[in-house]
Amino acid sequence: MKVIYNTLFKRTSAYAVAIMASAFFFERAIDVSSNTIYDTINKGKLWKDIKGKYE
Amino acid sequence: MAATLRRFNGFRLLKSTPALSLQQAKNLSTASSWANGNKKLIGAVGAVTGGVGTLLFALEQSVQASGTEVHPPAQPWTHKGLFSSLDHQSIRRGYEVYKQVCSACHSLQYIAYRNLIGVSHTEAEAKAEAEQIMVKDGPDDTGNFFDRPGKLSDYFPSPYPNEEAARAANNGAYPPDLSYISSARHGGEDYIFALLTGYHDAPAGVVLREGQYFNPYFAGGAISMAQVLYNEVIEYEDGTPPTQSQLAKDVATFLKWTSEPEHDDRKRLLIKVIGILGFLTAISYYIKRHKWSALKSRKIVFVPKEK
């Protein structure tokens, strides 16, 4: 805990950078995982599953 | 901070009370200091809100219980689930049904050929579909209007130039635009499916005027649209057997898409929203416990003075 505090939270500059970097990775993680869930649930019904037949 | 608290709440939050009663929520409530009139007003507003809600619910129920039409049964659509997308193969077949059957009388004026791209057709296919129609454009350099083949940006052509022409051609009845029909009718795609497959002979005692047909799912029972979907009335390019119920199901799915083109994105977004809000809820819970831990675990002990 102390390491996290000293490296990330102690100085405002490091804190701001940590917030922006973690926001980026959090967004990517949520986005990619929800898209995977959605595509798995609806496999075979989506356009990208059938478009191979028409190209 | 303490001064502000004191201004709004008197000493209630600031004075030290025994630790046990500190945790009682009623000591944190501001309602006890309200004037009597305030309490009555809030109570009245609550009662009126609840009453109006109950009334609306009751009215909605009573409307469903009366009326002259049969309510459509709920069908097991593959897009019915909370996270279920539309069946795009079905949308593509539904477009064929619309183009070859429905478009003879019904317009679809809010859908353009470009909307089909990435939903049911590739760009090349959508271009080919658009080029099959003729669109009046102009004026050109000499001020004349001219006909040209359709482009991707063109909207679906309407079978009649205006409502009067449509009525004149259909015995006085106006075939509604189908762009938002699934959202515009009670029952949505269930209604469309039931209507298209629900034609049968009028029961004894029901008098139909000329050009009217009997359909129990249509309000009043007398509909000016004849039955259009029969087994094998068209042929699907993907080889699906074109039974009447298959045709009706596909065109209902297609019209669901035209009514709600954002349907798939909406459900995709729901998963993301659940993920993000779940994360935020967990953080809020942790921070609440963290901030309250000092308050909840403190003890006030009476230590008598030693003499």
Give the side-chain half-sphere CA count within 13 A for B208. 19
Q: Which pLDDT does position B220 carry in this prediction?
A: 87
Taking only the tens place, the pLDDT of each residue in B76-129 is: 999 999 999 999 999 999 999 999 999 999 999 999 999 999 999 999 999 999
Partner residue facing B275 (CB), from A30, A41, A51:
A30
- CATH 1.20.5.260 at A1-53, yes or no: yes
Task: Name every chain B residue with its beta carbon within 8 A of the beta carbon of A45.
Answer: 78-79, 84-89
**Confidence class of residue B234 from pLDDT cuts 50, 70 and 90?**
very high
Shortest Cα–Cα distance, A13 to chain B (Å):
23
Average pLDDT for B184-201: 94
Mean pLDDT of all residues in chain B? 90
Partner residue facing B268 (CB), from A35, A45, A55:
A35
Element (H or E) spanning B148, and its range? Answer: strand B146-149
Give the side-chain half-sphere CA count within 13 A for A49. 15
Q: Which pLDDT does position B26 carry in this prediction?
A: 64
User: What residues pair up with B155 in beta bridges, in sequence order?
Assistant: B112
Q: What is the 3-state secondary structure (H, E, C) of B133-144?
A: CEEEECCCCCCC
Quote the pTM value. 0.80
Taking only the tens place, the pLDDT of each residue in B17-72 is: 555 555 566 666 777 788 889 899 999 999 999 999 999 998 877 766 667 788 89
Residue B41: count other Cβ atoms within 10 Å of its Cβ. Answer: 12
Element (H or E) spanning B117, and its range? Answer: none
Q: Which pLDDT does position B59 carry in this prediction?
A: 83
Contacts of B125 (CB under 8 A, 6+ apart): A54, B116
Residues 247-286 of B with CB under 8 A from A: 264, 267-268, 271-272, 275-276, 279
Q: Which pLDDT does position B68 carry in this prediction?
A: 76
With the C-alpha atoms ordered B117, B121, B110, B72, is the resulting torsion angle positive or negative?
Answer: negative
Q: Which pLDDT does position B9 carry in this prediction?
A: 63
